[in-house]
Amino acid sequence: MFQDRLQTLLAPALQTAFQHLFQASIDARTIAFQQTRPEFEGDVTINVFPFLKLSGKGPEQTAQALGEHLQAQVDVVERFNVVKGFLNIVIADRYWSGFLREAAGADILLFPATGRKMMVEYASPNTNKPLHLGHLRNIFLGYSVARILQAAGNEVVKVQVINDRGIHICKSMLAWRKFGQGETPASSGLKGDKLVGKYYVEFDKRYRAEIEALVAGGMAKEEAEKKAPLLLEAQEMLRQWEAGDPDVRALWERMNGWVYDGFNASYARMGVEFDKDYYESRTYVLGKQDVLDGLKKGVFYEKDGAVWVDNTQEGLDEKVLLRRDGTSVYMTQDIGTAIQRFQEYPGLSKLIYTVGNEQDYHFKVLFLILRKLGFPWADELFHLSYGMVDLPSGKMKSREGTVVDADDIMDEMVEEARAKGEELSKLDDFTAEEKARLFEMIGLAALKYFLLKVDPKKRMLFDPAASIDLQGHTGPFIQYTYARIQSLLRKAGSGDAPLGSGPAPALMGEEKAVIKQLHHLPAVLNEAAVRLDPAVLANQTYELVKAYNTFYQSVPVMKEEDAAKRAFRLALSAAVGRTVKKAMWCLGIEVPERM
C-alpha cells in the first residue's frame, strides 16, 4: 500500500482521465501506486500496462496522455516523465510543505475510531518452567500487533492462556515434593518460575536415570519409558488432581502461585500487560457440549464410542474431538474457549492467536470446525504464525535445562547496553539511577526491535551484539535519533516548533526526503494493522530516522540564519521526533529524552 493521501488525491483524477481520454471506466482500487525508483525522477509511479486494453493505445502513449491530463487538472502535479509503461509523477514542493504544516503539532499516526473490537492472544506460557527466548518473540509480536491495531482506531482486548494443568505440571510438582526439601523462592533466592523450572529439569534427570536402570535390567527402552516409576507417579498425581485431591490441589496452587509471581515480574520488565488471563485448568472443561451439539446436528460423527470430525473433503484429515471415555482433547477446549470469548465480549469482530508455526495445522482444523458449526465469526479468526528463534549455539531444549531464559536474555542485553554506554563516555551528567534506567531502556529496545523487524513468518537467528549497534539497523539507533532531536529542540527552545503562516521555503532534497518518509508512515501503519505485521512498521521507522540523520548531517539547523528556514527545519525535526515516539510505542519500545 502506498501513501493514502496521494492516492486519495490522484485516483479520482485518473478515473476522470480514463473517461475523458479513452471513454472507459476504471475502479480506483485497481490503480497501483508505487514509490518511484531512486534512479528515476518522480515521487509516485503508476504502471499503465494493466489498462492498455481500455486505452487502445501503446504503453508510452497511454502514460503520456494520462500524465498530460494529470498535470493540467491536478495543481500539485508539477511534471512527469514516462519510462516505457511507467508514469513517474513529480509532486510539487508546496504539497510536501503543506503536509508538514499539518503534521506540525499533530499526531499523524492517530487514526479515527473504527468501532471494531479485536482480541489478541499471546504469551500462553506453561507453569512448569520460566519464559524463554521463544516466548519473547511471541510476546513482543502479539503485544505490538495489539498496539498497532489500537493506534489504527480499534478497541483491543489483550489476553493470554496460561497452561496450568497436565502431566508436565505434575512432573515439576512431584519432583519438588520428592526432592525439594521444602525449598521456596524466599529460601532459595530464586524467582518462583525459575524454582519450579529447576524441578522440571530435575524430574527429567531422575526419569532418564530410571529408564537407563530398567534397560540395563533387560527391559526394552520403549517399555521402560512407559513403566519408569517416576512417570507412573506423575500420572497418578494427575489423576489425583483431576479428582480434586485436596493435598495435590494445595501443592498445585502453591507452586503455580510462585510461577505467577515470576511471570508477572518478567512481564513488568518487558513492559507488557494483559486485560484478561484464561487458565487451562478452567477452560479444559469447555467445548464438550459444543461437540455433542455438533454430533446431534450431523456436523460430527461417532465411531467406536468417540466423536470425530471428517475434514478430508477440505484436504485435511479426520480428527477425534471426544475420546470414547468422554474426555476431551486440546481441540475440544479450543473450540469451547473461542465460543466463550465471543459470548464474553459482544461485538468482538476478530480474534488473533499468536502461536508458533508448528501449530499451523491445528489452527486450520480449529477454524474449519468452527465454520462447520455455523459460527459467522469463524471467518474472522486469524493465526498469527511465526518462526522459531535460534541462537548461534543452536536450538533450545527445555527438559534438559538448556533453554535460553528470557530473564537472562534481558539481563544480557542490558549489560551490552551498559558496556556500549560506558565505552562512549557521554553520560557524565547522568546519575547512577538515570544510567541504570537508560541502559534498561536501550537493552530492551535492542531486543524488541531485533525480534520485530523480521517478517514474523521467517525463522530467525538472534544476535545480541548486532542488535545493540548504535549505527546499525537497530532499536538503539532509532532511540539515539529521537534523543538527538529532543536535544536539538531543547537547545532551540522551540518545543513543538510551530510553523508560521507564511510561505514555506524552497525544499532541499534532504528535507523533501524526510517529509516523504513521514508522509508514507501512516499508510505503513495501516498496512501493518491489515497484515498484522509489525516488521513493516519497524522497517519504515528505520527508513525515516535514516533519512533524518542524512538531513541532520547535511543541512544546518541551529546555524541557519534565515528565520523561516530555521523554523521549518525545527518543525520538521519535531514532527519526526513525535512520529518516531508514536511508532516505537506501537512496537512496545520506549525512547529516551537524553542518550
- Which set of grid coordinates corresponds to residue 568? 521549518
> Does the model's pTM come out above 0.85?
yes
Residue found under cell 528515476: 40
- pLDDT of 228 > 50? The answer is yes
At position 22, the amino acid (one-letter code) is F
Which has more pLDDT, 111 or 505? 111
Residue found under cell 503562516: 501
- pLDDT per position as a tens digit, 39-94: 999 999 999 999 999 999 999 999 999 999 999 999 999 999 999 999 999 999 99
- Determine which helix (DSSP H) or strand (DSSP E) holds 18, and give its type and residue range: helix 4-22
d(CA 422, CA 175): 44
* Buried residues in 472-490 as b, exposed as e (16+ CB within 10 A): ebbbbbbbbbbbbbbebbe
Instruction: Return the pLDDT at 502.
Output: 64
- pLDDT per position as a tens digit, 434-488: 999 999 999 999 999 999 999 999 999 988 888 888 889 999 999 999 999 999 9
- pLDDT per position as a tens digit, 158-199: 999 999 999 999 999 999 999 999 999 999 999 999 999 999
Give the torsion through C-alpha atoms of 547, 548, 549, 555, to 10 deg. Answer: 110
What DSSP state is assigned to residue 163? Answer: B
d(CA 43, CA 509): 12
3-state secondary structure string across 202-225: HHHHHHHHHHHHHHHCCCCHHHHH
- pLDDT of 36 > 70? The answer is yes
pLDDT tier, 498 (very low <50, low <70, confident <90, very high otherwise): low
Instruction: Return the pLDDT at 403.
Output: 66
Question: Do residues 569 and 489 make contact, with C-beta atoms less than 8 angstroms apart?
Answer: no
Cβ neighbours for 476, distance < 8 A, ≥ 6 positions apart: 417, 420, 442, 445, 446, 468, 469, 470
What is the percentage of the chain residues whose pLDDT exceeds 70? 96
Domains within the chain, CATH numbers bracketed: 4-91 (3.30.1360.70), 166-255 (no CATH), 406-586 (1.10.730.10)
Bridge partner list, 472: none
Instruction: Return the pLDDT at 400.
Output: 46
At position 65, the amino acid (one-letter code) is A
- pLDDT per position as a tens digit, 376-427: 999 999 999 999 998 776 443 444 445 689 999 999 999 999 998 888 767 8
- pLDDT per position as a tens digit, 358-375: 999 999 999 999 999 999
Question: Do residues 88 and 82 make contact, with C-beta atoms less than 8 angstroms apart?
Answer: yes
Question: Measuring CA to CA, which residue among 109, 49, 35, 36 is closest to residue 586?
Answer: 109
- pLDDT per position as a tens digit, 101-130: 988 878 999 899 999 999 999 999 999 999
Q: Are strands 117-121 and 348-356 parallel, antiparallel or unpaired?
A: parallel
- pLDDT per position as a tens digit, 248-302: 999 999 999 999 999 999 999 999 999 999 999 999 999 999 999 999 999 999 9
84 φψ region: left (φ > 0), alpha (ψ -120 to 50), beta (else): left
Strands lying side by side in the sheet with 33-35: 33-35, 44-47, 86-91, 77-83
- Which set of grid coordinates corresponds to residue 433? 539511577
- pLDDT of 497 > 70? The answer is no
CA angle 178, 179, 185 (to 5 degrees): 115
Give the residue-averaged pLDDT of 502-506: 74
Instruction: Return the pLDDT at 429.
Output: 86
